[in-house]
Structure 1
Amino acid sequence: MKLPREVATFDSASAMVMSIARFLHDRDTPPMGRPTGRLLRPVAATATRLPVRLRETIYSLASGAEARPAARTATLDIEDVAARIVGLYPQRRYPAVAVGSSNGALVHLCAALGIAWLPQTLLLPLRQRQVPPDDPMRAVHAFDTTARALLARNPDFVLHHLHDPNQDRLTSRRMAYFRVKRTRLGPAYERFLNRTLDAGGVLLLAECTRRWPTTRVGERHVFQFGALGGLEPSQYHEGDPRTAAYLRRYRAGRTRWEAPTPDGESPEAEWGFEPALRDDAIAFARRHGYQVRRLVFDEPEDLSPLVADLYRWWYRQRGLPADRLLVESFILLDPWWALRTGCVPYWSTFPVQSSADALARHLDQSDTYDHLHLALFCHGVESVGLAPVDRWHELLRRAHVSGSFAGVDPRRYPSDLSTFFRFQSALRSIPARHPIPEPLSLSQFDRFFAQHRHRYPAVRLDG
């Protein structure tokens, strides 16, 4: 199973497609979402022992290595990419198929229901050499020619050119982020749905309503400065003591970023749902006799408590212990091992302070867990808003019996490159083993949500 080379594998959508596709094939998730990722383990192990600056250089080289030449991206037919994505899934009948926003908790919901997920957003990585991370004014128009050619060839997509010098500092040294969002299902998705959806089956639209200030660059083309994580949108444009200290640490020669002035808001580039797809999906469903359900949520992590509680209820219905919490982080997730080990999955976007606070609220509102396993995605830098390791130690102490890091060395966080490989080893080391169960039915999920929806005010299930 291989992802198309044109999309970034080191990304939420790609990693989550691979994770749920492999689960439906009764397989676990490989390191970094690809089986060949294991070949990089010796490099990561060596790099982890090096000084921080050398680790940053290796991270930048490795994460930017999959960037494609701009000329090649300009001629890309994204429908060809979509056809290869749907080809990753078992070609069998499903009671429902999810379409829409990338979301780790959604991956676990799809695993529980035994259904596929088709992403609205894909990351096309462009080779970038002459744009410093701290110069968004240069970034905004660096690939206008490429963007125009790409969009002319692909009329059913909008382009979000994302530039984030905070969390993506190391990768953006060598790679520009072109995120494309489909406004129509398109031929490849429609063929897959007609071939695999049960008669009268459900098209489940996953819609994250998170938005971000953007600058219009061209038709169907916006530039987004900053991204969801440790800073709010206004903090990217205003002076902030933490940002100033961060820029001094990297000798940026400035105390704040000078960026294009936003002239509107758009769905957040990585996580937000482009509403135009909804109308096309509804029209398609009506033509073919399918149902449409909408799972709407404000922030990516809003689904995480719901799915964690669903799994806990499901385990108890099966007579299994439900006392082991697995806290996943960005692309460090694995639905197959979660079910095999009887872990309750709780997905967090990034190891930032807001995610730590959200996890704390979930622990406050839940029965105590005996065991807590905590993964931390390491993006290589001490970005603004990153939760310090002491905060994670504090949360691990909330476990009644034992709390431990799942694959990350807290002494080297957030630049522990080996965590992408040790995460799977940490899951395999959990002693409990259970068979993969028969999927939950949609009616079971509906009943659970109806009984507990008061606990999730930011989540709606319509239709």
Structure 2
Amino acid sequence: MTLSRDVASFDSATAMTTAIARFLHGRHTAPLGAPTARALLPLAAAANRLPVRLRESIYSAASAAEARPPRRLAAVAFEEIATSIVRLYPRRRYPAVMLGSSNGALMHLCAALGIPWLPQTVLLPLRQRRVPPDEPMRAVHAFDETARRLLDRNPDLVLHHMHDPNQDRLTSRRMAYFRVKRTRLGPAYQRFLVDSLDPGAVLFIAECTRRWPTTRVGERHVFQFGAVGGLEPAEYRAGGPRVAAYLRRYGIARQRWDVPESDGESPEAEWGFEPALRDDVIAFARRHGYRVRRLVFEDPEDLSPLVADLYRWWYRERGLPADQLLVDSFILLDPRRTLLTGAVPYWSVFPVQSSADALARYLDRSDGYDGIHLALFCHGVESVGLVTVDQWRALLQRARVSGTFAGVDVRRYPSDLANLFRYHRCRRVPDRCPPADPLPMRMFDAFLTDSRDRYPASVVDAN
């Protein structure tokens, strides 16, 4: 089970694809999708004892190891990547498939239904040497020729060159983020659907409508400065005290970043859905007798309360306890472990203020949990908007019995290098549920009917 080397294993799309594929094979999620990566835990634990700046350098070098040289990336044929994605899944018949936006809650929904997910967006990590994180004006046109050749070779792709010196500071020292979104299914996805779906199956399209200011660089090519997380688009561009303090930490005496002018808005690079794909999916479904249902939500975390409550309802329908909440963070998720432990999954994007606020709102409207177990993805730096350990502890204290951190060394947060490997060994919640048959589609529909208008996410028929 391996993906193309041209995609980043640490990205949301590839990590989540691998997680749901391993689930469908009856396996737990492995760090970076590779069981052999667990061998890196002792090295990461040893590196954790180094000073923070040395840990930052290690993080930067390790993440950049996946970056591809411009010549190689320009020659990528996306159908080869798509083929490597569909080959991850077990060859059997499915009643439905999920396509579209990346989303951790969506992976738990796929696990409940027992169906695969085909991502619209993937990250092509591009090697860069001479573009400092805090100089987006140098980044915007640094790889125009590479982008042109990539898009000429792949006419069904839209390229979002993303540059975020806040959350991706360490990775962007040596790597540019080329996120590509497909506008058509393409042969590999189409073959997989025809070969794997039951007659009359459902094609779910996950559509995150989050948009972001962008600068048009070329045809099917935009530049996005900043990303979903600790800062909103206006603060990325206008700066202010929080940005100034962050820049001073790295020896930069400015109030703001010097950024290219935006000339429009586009689907957010990592999470947003490119609507052109929807038309192709609907046309394909009509040709083959499939149904299409749109799962529409504005922000990535809007789906999390719906999926958490679905699991809680499902456990109770099966006569199982539903008193343990497991809070995932970015790519730290394990669908199989979640179901075997009988945990209710709640996915958060990053350990930032907006995610903490969303979790607090969910806890406010839920009927409480005996246990809350919280993962925190560590991206290496104290970025703007990051939530402190004490703030997270306050949320854990809302558990009726016990609130614990899952797999993170809070003394080294947010630069715990072992976090990515330790999370998958965490067993704070013991296995207590037998493997379940997939949730029947009629039960999912019944839950949606009973909970109509309760959530910011909606499911609508498209054909």
TM bin, normalised by shorter chain, reads over 0.9
Measured in 2, the distance between the counterparts of 1:86 and 1:396 equals: 38
Where do residues 22-171 of structure 1 align in structure 2 (5 Å cutoff)? 22-171=22-171
2:402 aligned with 1:412, yes or no?
no
Which residue is equivalent to 1:183?
Answer: 183
Structure 2 unaligned residues grouped into runs of 5+: none
How far the C-alpha of 1:458 sits from its partner, in A, is 4.0
| Identity across the alignment (%) | 73
Q: Which amino acid aligns with 1:96?
A: A
Measured in 2, the distance between the counterparts of 1:43 and 1:224 equals: 35
Which residue is equivalent to 2:231?
Answer: 231
Listed one character per residue, the Cα deviations across residues 220-242 of structure 1 (whole Å, up to 9, x for unaligned) are: 00000000000000111102100
Where do residues 45-444 of structure 1 align in structure 2 (5 Å cutoff)? 45-426=45-426, 428-444=427-443
How far the C-alpha of 1:116 sits from its partner, in A, is 0.3
Structure 1 unaligned residues grouped into runs of 5+: none
Comparing 253-262 with 270-279, which one deviates more in the overlay? 253-262
SS in structure 2 of the partner of residue 216 of structure 1: strand
SS in structure 1 of the partner of residue 274 of structure 2: coil
Q: Which amino acid aligns with 2:194?
A: N
Measured in 1, the distance between the counterparts of 2:292 and 2:156 equals: 21
Measured in 1, the distance between the counterparts of 2:400 and 2:49 equals: 33
Q: Which amino acid aligns with 1:430?
A: V
Comparing 323-332 with 31-40, which one deviates more in the overlay? 31-40
SS in structure 2 of the partner of residue 13 of structure 1: helix
SS in structure 2 of the partner of residue 454 of structure 1: coil
How far the C-alpha of 1:313 sits from its partner, in A, is 0.5
Number of aligned residue pairs: give it: 462
Measured in 1, the distance between the counterparts of 2:61 and 2:446 equals: 48
2:458 aligned with 1:459, yes or no?
yes
Q: Which amino acid aligns with 2:212?
A: W
RMSD (CA atoms): 0.9
Asked whether the equivalents of residues 9 and 34 of structure 1 are also in contact (C-alpha less than 8 Å), the reply is: no
Measured in 2, the distance between the counterparts of 1:109 and 1:324 equals: 18
Listed one character per residue, the Cα deviations across residues 47-99 of structure 1 (whole Å, up to 9, x for unaligned) are: 11111101100100111110000100001101011001100001110000100
How far the C-alpha of 1:46 sits from its partner, in A, is 1.0
SS in structure 1 of the partner of residue 453 of structure 2: helix
Measured in 1, the distance between the counterparts of 2:140 and 2:456 equals: 37
Asked whether the equivalents of residues 184 and 280 of structure 1 are also in contact (C-alpha less than 8 Å), the reply is: yes
Q: Which amino acid aligns with 2:72?
A: R
Q: TM-score, normalised by structure 2?
A: 0.99
Which residue is equivalent to 2:447?
Answer: 448
How far the C-alpha of 1:434 sits from its partner, in A, is 1.4
SS in structure 2 of the partner of residue 126 of structure 1: strand
How far the C-alpha of 1:432 sits from its partner, in A, is 3.4
How far the C-alpha of 1:421 sits from its partner, in A, is 1.4
